[in-house]
Amino acid sequence: MSRFGEPQHPDFQRLNASIGFDRRLWPQDISQSRAHARMLADSAIISAEDSDALLAGLEEVERELSEGSFRFAPEDEDIHMAIERRLTEIAGAVGGRLHTARSRNDQVVTDLQLYVREQSVHAQVAIARLMAALLLRAEEHVDWPMPGYTHLQRAQPVYLSHHLLAYFWMLARDRARFAAAERATRRLALGAGALAGVNFDTNRHLVAHELGFEEPAPNSIDAVAGRDFILDYLSAAATCSTHLSRLGAELVLWSSAEFAFCELPDSWSSGSSIMPQKKNPDAAELLRAKAPRVVGHLAALHGVMHALPLTYNKDLQEDKEHLFDVVDTLELTLAAAAGMIAAAAFDRERLSDAASDELAAATDVADLLVRLGVPFREAHGAVAGLVRAALDSGRRLSELSAGELARHSETLAAHRDELAEVLTQRSWLESKVSEGGTSLARVREQLRAARAELDEGPSA
């Protein structure tokens, strides 16, 4: 029997159905249904015989789903109803007892909690693989000079290892964010019912323990209405994808003929349909392009949740497609980034040549003046004048005469030997002795810290 006097319009059925995308939640739905069936028997809400029949039926449903032989029916609105329908076909009328003391509202949230928890762990593992690839390449190129940039203009030289490790530490924070998203799923929603709890004295702690939750959610309304654990995952993914987009952008630049700092392998490149000579960094470009897609899903789910009255509303069905697409996108982009970093071939001579421009030592020259007693602002102005003179005459700073030096700084003219030492490339790099700087000793410290970070992982 139904309270409705006419069937649903076909277009509404298509709008309402989620089976096309939520079917991937079947492993989580089977797991929680098993735990629920056992709890119902333990709480004497159903008999042990009925629980055994439900568990046997769920085992068969699981086998069919895992083997791909499960047949979805036209009336299956979502994966939860599909599993219950097939369970009833297998176990008989007892299949209808499984939904005792639960609602699809708390059922679907629990499935999503389990899914987000698993995917948060997978993301941490994938991030660790990329971190390991970056660390290995940093160790391999520990003392390779390259130019550092601000405003995409050559600024100060750094070691390639130092630059690669910048992404390592970004990803370490990303991994910690996914660990936090994992922790956000630790309060069990199942048992909250539709919104107010259920009419049975269920043992939610038993279910929580079996499914790996720390404890039941303390408020039934919040349990069925909340999706902030998904927002936490999407937020972590959005920030991580943004970091990957920056890495992708630099790989595109570095592999261009204009930079020629590295070459990406053929296995991570594409050709042109019309220009046979082209080798395009398409994989790196897609790291850039995928990031706003992930950020868009985060913004979209915030839009779904914005001003949504408690408790359950059908709007919440829109949580899944945003989540699933982000999971798939992040998995792919993290794997691609790790593959490209592991296989990129860096050009030591090209990197070193680009880092050898004496103008990059301008700050070091100013600091020399400071050590010689000149106020920094005065030193900055003097060196700026020297840079202008060198540029106007097409010469290097080391090629300026004593008279030219004296016109801008009598102090520098009197300390030409010290200036010459500062203008050697290795001096520019090794002068950055502050903690976290690019001097070789500090980079080696950083490598040790990075190895410890990778091995220890995020705190629980």
Cα radius of gyration (the chain) = 31
Instruction: Check: CB of residue 32 under 8 Å from CB of residue 110.
Output: yes
Of the candidates 227, 224, 218, 212, the residue with the CA atom closest to the CA atom of residue 181: 227
- Choice among 272, 302, 393, 401 that is catalytic: 272
Tell me how far CA of residue 302 lies from CA of 117, 227, 234, in angstroms.
Answer: 20, 10, 10
Does 398 participate in catalysis according to the annotation?
Answer: no
Q: Are strands 215-216 and 187-188 parallel, antiparallel or unpaired?
A: parallel
Which helix H or strand E contains 421, and what residues bound it? helix 416-422
Marked catalytic residue, from 151, 273, 434, 459: 151
Closest CA to 398 of 376, 379, 421: 421
Is 272 catalytic? The answer is yes
Distance, CA of 174 to CA of 240 (rounded, Å): 6
Which two structure tokens, joined as six digits, stand for 429? 């790099």
What span, in angstroms and rounded, lies between the C-alpha atoms of 419 and 407? 15
SS3 assignment, position 357: coil
Residue 399 CA: distances (Å) to CA of 130, 403, 449? 45, 12, 41
Assigned token pair, 417: 């030997």
Contacts of 39 (CB under 8 A, 6+ apart): 202, 203, 204, 206, 207, 210
Q: Which residue in 224, 229, 231 sits closest to 108, CA to CA? A: 224
Strands in 16-175 per DSSP E: 145-150, 153-159
3-state SS, residue 390: helix
Active site residues: 151, 272
